[in-house]
Amino acid sequence: MEAVSEILKTMRLSGAVFLDAEFTAPWRVNSQVDPAALSPMMPTPSGVIAYHYVAEGSAWVRVGENEPKLIEARHLVIFPRNDVHSAGSTESIDAIDSEKLVAPAGDDGLMRIRHGGGGRICRIYCGYLGTFDGDNPLLQELPPMLVLNLEDAIAGDWIEGSIRFAVRQMIRDGSQTAAELGRLAELLFVEAVREYLCALSDEDRGLLVALKDPALAKALCLIHSQLSRDWSLETLSKEVAISRSALAGRFKHHLGVSPIRYLQSRRLQQAANELAGDDNPVSKVAVNAGYESEAAFIRAFKREFGKPPSAFRKTGARIELKTAKS
C-alpha cells in the first residue's frame, strides 16, 4: 500500500490543531471546521480532514442525514471531506455549534471543550489536517465517514498509543510538540485509508480498488507525483513493467478511462485549483500542468470545464473532481 502514501503526499497535507474535549451526558454538538479558521497555523487550505479519537465513553455520530453510528472508546472517526456532522450522548436533544464551546489554547497549545449535563463522561481528542488538494480523486472517493476499531486494526495499538503519548507530551511540553502532532495526524490518516482499502472487495471499481493492483498502484503513483512529465502510454507501461494493452485494459476496467485521459483530467484539475488559489499567469499554470503550448492548454481546459481559464479564474470557483470521459 505504498502507493497510498505516495498519492497522499501529493495532497500536501499540513499541520494539525488538537483539541481535548470532555463531554458529560446529556450532550450533543454539531461540527464542521472552517478552513479559514486554520489560517493562524497555516495558509488557508482548500480542504480540511477532521478526525476524532474517542478515548473514553461513547458517542452517537451522524454525517448529514445519514443514520447515526455509536462510536465506542478506542475508535477513530475520520471525516475525509469535513462534512457537517453531529456527535452526542443522545439524538433527542438539539445540537450546539461546537465552535461556540471551544476555549482558546492555553500555554500548552491545546484547545479544550468542557460541556454537558454532568452525567457519563465522553472524552474525545480531535485533530484537523489542512489539505491543499481538496479535490484529490482519492479524497473524493472515500466515504464521508471512516470508522476504525483500533482493537481490530492491524496498527490499532500503535495508533492509540501514539495519540495518548502525543497529547500527554503536548500538555507537558506545550507548543514544542505541535509539529510532532502534525506529523502524527498525517500518519493517522494514511493508516486509516490503508485499513479502509483492505476491507474493499476486489470486485469494486474506482481509484481506491485500483490501488490494490500493484501495477496500477505504481502507475497512479507516478502520474500523481510527476504530473508535468511528458507521459505516453509506452513510457508509463515501461515504468510499471507491463504491456501497453494490459495497462490500458486495467485503467479502463477500474477507472473507466485510458491512462492518458486520466492524466489529462488530473492535470486540468490541478490547473483549476491553481487558478482558483493564486495569481500565477495562465502561461505559468499551463506549464505547471504539463502543457508546452498555452493555446493547447486553454482549449483542453475549456473542453473539461466549459469555460477558458481566464473566465474560470474570475468566478473564483472550485470545481469538484468529476469522472473523466474517454
Tell me the pLDDT tens digit for each residue of 283-297: 999 998 888 899 999
Bridge partners (DSSP) of residue 50 are 79, 128
Contacts of 281 (CB under 8 A, 6+ apart): none
For the segment 16-41, what is each residue's pLDDT rounded down to a tens digit?
667 889 999 999 999 998 887 776 66
Any residues with CB less than 8 A from the CB of 26 and at least 6 apart, and which?
A: 88, 89, 90, 92, 93, 116, 117, 119
Instruction: Give the three cell numbers for residue 88.
Output: 452526542
Q: Encode pLDDT of 92-122 as tens digits.
A: 999 999 999 999 877 766 789 999 999 999 9
Q: Is 49 left (phi over 0), alpha (psi -120 to 50) or beta?
A: beta
Residues near 319 by beta carbon (within 8 Å), at least 6 away in sequence: 135, 269, 272, 305
What is the H or E stretch that residue 142 is in?
A: none
Could you tell me which CATH number the domain at 2-199 has?
A: 2.60.120.280
Q: Which residues of the chain have pLDDT under 50?
A: 319-326
Sign, CA dihedral 293-298-273-269, equals: negative
**pLDDT value, residue 19:** 84
CA distance 137 to 265: 10
Cβ(56)–Cβ(84) below 8 Å: no
Contact 74, 158 (CB under 8 A): no
190: closest CA among 170, 167, 215, 162? 162
| Angle between helical axes of 214-225 and 2-9 (0-180°, round to 10) | 20
CA distance 154 to 195: 8
In this prediction, residue 250 carries a pLDDT of 93
Which CA distances in Å does 50 have to 19, 36, 54, 120, 242? 11, 14, 13, 25, 38
Q: What is the pTM of this model?
A: 0.75
Domain ranges for the chain, please list them. Answer: 2-199, 208-315
Give me 108's grid cell: 500548552
pLDDT at residue 321, as a whole number: 40
pLDDT attached to residue 191: 78
| Fold classification of 208-315 (topology level) | Arc Repressor Mutant, subunit A (1.10.10)
Cell readout for 238 is 515501461
Q: In what order do the strands lie in the sheet with 85-88?
A: 69-72, 58-63, 85-88, 28-31, 96-97
> Is-contact 289 283, C-beta < 8 A?
no
